[in-house]
């Protein structure tokens, strides 16, 4: 019985591990990094824990109620990538993910909030998923776009078939596949570079267990419970 329960616990650990997010600092609560400018309730960073600027002036972190009526979807901080600063304000940030299962399926979740009611894709955000090789990331491939959020306004309640939450945030859920052991996830501002753009928060990436792994987990748990019932008789 102990062996079967042990097998079940190992399977449970594997399943739990598969569901843990692979993203570091997905809610941007840890702002340890290189600070470029401090504006009180919002600051611009070249990099923070887990994330690096790959284009534009930097990663703009805003705190709850910076704008008076917007709170983070998770925690106290969220990111705006139409960042304040020269030479342009549209920025992009990336995170490098190592030890990926080539051909493996992953589930990306993140939340988006439009800032303005302006047209011309003022709040646009694109997401890229690139294979990566090298010592540092300084670019991303525009052909590897996996999500494009365009022409969403602050007052809109629908975006690409999604419904805005009561907190004003849209929830995006996307399936991705790893094409190399090291991948780069990038969020980039698009549209008018006017320092007023869309927000990102609560980014997570989880490995999707293969059917065989799920079947093993189910059998192990069933065996453990069956053994426990027999031991009580």
Q: What does the pLDDT look like over 176-203, one tens digit per residue?
A: 999 999 999 999 999 899 999 999 999 9
Q: Which residue has the higher pLDDT, 87 or 9?
A: 87
Q: Which residue has the higher pLDDT, 124 or 134?
A: 124
Alpha carbon distance 30, 201 (integer Å): 13
The 10s digit of each residue's pLDDT in 11-31 is 444 444 447 999 999 999 999
Over residues 111-116, the mean pLDDT reads 97
- Cis ω for the linkage preceding 87 (within 30 of 0): yes
Instruction: Check residue 212 and give its pLDDT.
Output: 55
Instruction: Reply yes or no on whether the pLDDT at 114 is more than 90.
Output: yes
Domains of the chain: 2-232 (2.60.120.200)
Instruction: Check residue 135 and give its pLDDT.
Output: 61
Over residues 72-92, the mean pLDDT reads 92
Alpha carbon distance 216, 129 (integer Å): 30
Instruction: Check residue 86 and give its pLDDT.
Output: 76
Residue percentage of the chain with pLDDT more than 70:
81
Q: Quickly state the pLDDT bin for 55 (edges 50, 70, 90).
A: very high
Instruction: Check residue 98 and give its pLDDT.
Output: 94
CA angle 154–50–45, rounded 5-degree value: 65
Over residues 165-186, the mean pLDDT reads 97
Over residues 151-169, the mean pLDDT reads 96
Instruction: Check residue 125 and give its pLDDT.
Output: 97
Alpha carbon distance 82, 61 (integer Å): 11
Q: Which residue has the higher pLDDT, 60 or 230?
A: 60
Over residues 34-40, the mean pLDDT reads 96
Are the beta carbons of 91 and 58 closer than 8 angstroms?
Answer: yes
Instruction: Give the least confident one: 59-63, 83-87, 142-146.
Output: 83-87
Instruction: Reply yes or no on whether the pLDDT at 1 is more than 90.
Output: no
Over residues 164-170, the mean pLDDT reads 97
169 DSSP 8-state letter: P
For 134, other C-beta atoms within 10 Å of its C-beta total 10
């Amino acid at each position: 019985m102990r062996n079967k329960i042990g097998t079940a616990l190992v399977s449970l650990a594997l399943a739990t591990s598969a569901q843990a997010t692979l993203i570091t600092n997905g809610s941007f609560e840890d702002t340890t990094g290189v600070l470029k400018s401090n504006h009180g309730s919002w600051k611009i960073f070249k990099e923070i824990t887990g994330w690096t600027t790959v284009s534009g002036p930097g990663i703009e972190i805003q705190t709850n109620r910076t704008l008076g009526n917007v709170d983070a979807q998770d925690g106290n901080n969220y990111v705006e990538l139409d960042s304040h600063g020269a030479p342009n304000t549209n920025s992009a940030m990336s995170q490098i993910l190592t030890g990926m299962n080539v051909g493996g399926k992953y589930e990306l979740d993140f939340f988006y909030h439009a800032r303005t009611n302006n047209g011309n894709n003022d709040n646009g955000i694109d997401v890229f998923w690139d294979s990566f090789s090298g010592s540092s990331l300084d670019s991303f491939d525009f052909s590897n776009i996996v999500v494009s959020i365009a022409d969403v306004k602050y007052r809109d309640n629908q975006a690409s078939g999604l419904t805005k939450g009561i907190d004003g945030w849209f929830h995006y859920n996307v399936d991705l596949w790893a094409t190399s052991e090291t991948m780069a996830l990038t969020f980039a501002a698009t549209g008018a570079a006017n320092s007023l753009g869309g927000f990102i928060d609560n980014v997570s990436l989880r490995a999707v267990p293969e059917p065989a792994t799920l079947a093993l987990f189910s059998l192990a748990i069933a065996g453990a419970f069956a053994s426990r019932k027999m031991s009580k008789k």
